[in-house]
């Protein structure tokens, strides 16, 4: 790639210019991450007066603990469901908006609003809608014979956080899919139409393959999102319950550390999550930055 070199008048200036970013990264990311790694190897007494080095004990225990293994399974289910639902719906919406000749911008703007809502507020919103005693949806679901109570029913609680987390992410995916669709030349669609392919066939054999770089990028971003950015949604709706049913990894880091006060184990869990994000980032850099070749 061709990058333009900038020459600064003094040697110190470039360092000064990147300093704010560096300082923020160091204080809020690198230092806490270092602390997490350090305390994942340590055990602290209940009063915080002494710590002792315990090596990999926290990690070893985690992978023998049924609650943690169950949480991994739940997280995988949650991550896959949110990624599939939010990307699937976003693609449908993007295709629909892309077909519009007029009014596309208005729809796009409205479809972007959920992204501006903070995760906690989004969570509370869905909590209200699904509230078993006052919510509108449980009331309507009763007519079709569904007894909705996510405070008691683990599966329903999982459905609730999947819906809440997907809803927020649709906007982001929509925007990228729309941009991707708009960069597919119209003449390809026309050529395929003349070549005898119907609308569905055109989409699946021409448009969708050409969207693959976007799809791959979004898949990585969405997995990242479900793993790390969904704390607020979970905390505001189910708080990991009932009976651990929605205690996904990122929430478990919090509940074990701050509620259970097991800082060592909590740190070990956050380090494992950190490793996961590093792997995802490496994949993204290897394949997405180089663009998926077709």
Partner 1 sequence: MASIDLKSVRKVYPGNVTAIHALDLSIADGELVVLVGPSGCGKSTLLRMIAGLETITDGTISIGDDVVNKKEPAERDIAMVFQNYALYPHMSVRQNLEYGLKNRGTPRDEIDRRVTEAARILEIEQFLERKPRQLSGGQRQRVAMGRAIVRQPKAFLFDEPLSNLDAKLRGQMRIEIRRLQRSLKTTSVYVTHDQLEAMTLADRLVVMNGGRIEQVGKPIELYDRPASLFVAGFIGSPPMNLIPVEALVAVAGGTMPDFPAGTDIVGIRPDQVLLGSRDGITLSGTVELIEPVGGESHLYVRVEGIAQALILVQQGRASVGEAERVDFILPLAALHGFNRESGRRVE
The residue ranges that bind partner 1 (CB under 8 A) are: 185, 187-188, 190-198, 201, 205-206, 209-210, 212, 294
**Would residue 239 be called left, alpha or beta, if left means φ above 0 and alpha means ψ between -120 and 50 degrees?**
left
Please report how close the Cβ of residue 209 comes to partner 1 at its closest, in angstroms: 5
Q: How far apart are CA 290 and CA 1, in angstroms?
A: 11
Lookup result for tokens 């109570």: 149
DSSP 38-53: HHHTEEE-TTSS-EEE
Please report how close the Cβ of residue 98 comes to partner 1 at its closest, in angstroms: 17
Please report how close the Cβ of residue 292 comes to partner 1 at its closest, in angstroms: 10
Question: Smaller CB distance to partner 1: residue 117 or 210?
Answer: 210
Question: Smaller CB distance to partner 1: residue 7 or 194?
Answer: 194
Question: Smaller CB distance to partner 1: residue 113 or 294?
Answer: 294
Question: Smaller CB distance to partner 1: residue 73 or 209?
Answer: 209
Please report how close the Cβ of residue 290 comes to partner 1 at its closest, in angstroms: 15
In 3D space, the residue among 115, 124, 70 whose CA is nearest the CA of residue 225 turns out to be 115
Question: Smaller CB distance to partner 1: residue 175 or 210?
Answer: 210
Q: How far apart are CA 290 and CA 279, in angstroms?
A: 16
Please report how close the Cβ of residue 220 comes to partner 1 at its closest, in angstroms: 20
b/e per residue, 213-223, with b = 16+ CB within 10 A? bbbbbbbbbbb
Whole-angstrom Cα Rg for the chain: 23
């Amino acid at each position: 790639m061709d990058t333009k070199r900038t020459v600064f008048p003094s040697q110190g200036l470039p360092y000064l210019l990147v300093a704010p970013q560096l300082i923020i990264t160091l204080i809020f990311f690198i230092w806490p991450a270092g602390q997490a790694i350090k305390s994942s190897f340590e055990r602290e007494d209940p009063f915080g007066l002494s710590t002792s080095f315990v090596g990999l004990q926290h990690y070893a225990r985690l992978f023998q603990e049924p609650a943690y293994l169950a949480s991994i399974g739940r997280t995988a289910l949650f991550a896959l469901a949110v990624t599939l639902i939010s990307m699937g719906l976003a693609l449908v919406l993007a295709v629909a908006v892309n077909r519009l000749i007029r009014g596309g911008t208005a729809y796009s703007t409205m479809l972007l609003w959920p992204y501006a809502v903070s995760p906690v507020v989004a969570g509370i919103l869905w909590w209200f809608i699904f509230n078993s005693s006052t919510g509108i949806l449980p009331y309507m679901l009763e007519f079709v014979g569904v007894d909705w109570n996510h405070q008691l029913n683990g599966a329903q609680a999982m459905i609730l956080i999947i819906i809440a987390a997907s809803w927020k992410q649709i906007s982001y995916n929509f925007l990228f899919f729309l941009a991707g669709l708009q960069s597919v030349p119209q003449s390809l669609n026309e050529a395929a139409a003349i070549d005898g392919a119907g609308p569905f066939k055109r989409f699946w054999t021409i448009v969708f393959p050409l969207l693959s770089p976007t799809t791959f990028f979004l898949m990585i971003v969405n997995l990242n999102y479900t793993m790390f950015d969904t704390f607020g949604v979970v905390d505001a709706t189910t708080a990991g319950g009932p009976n651990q049913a929605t205690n996904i990894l990122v929430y478990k880091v919090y509940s074990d550390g701050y509620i259970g006060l097991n800082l060592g184990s909590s740190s070990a869990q956050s380090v494992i999550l950190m490793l996961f994000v590093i792997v995802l980032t490496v994949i993204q850099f290897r394949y997405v930055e180089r663009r998926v070749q077709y």
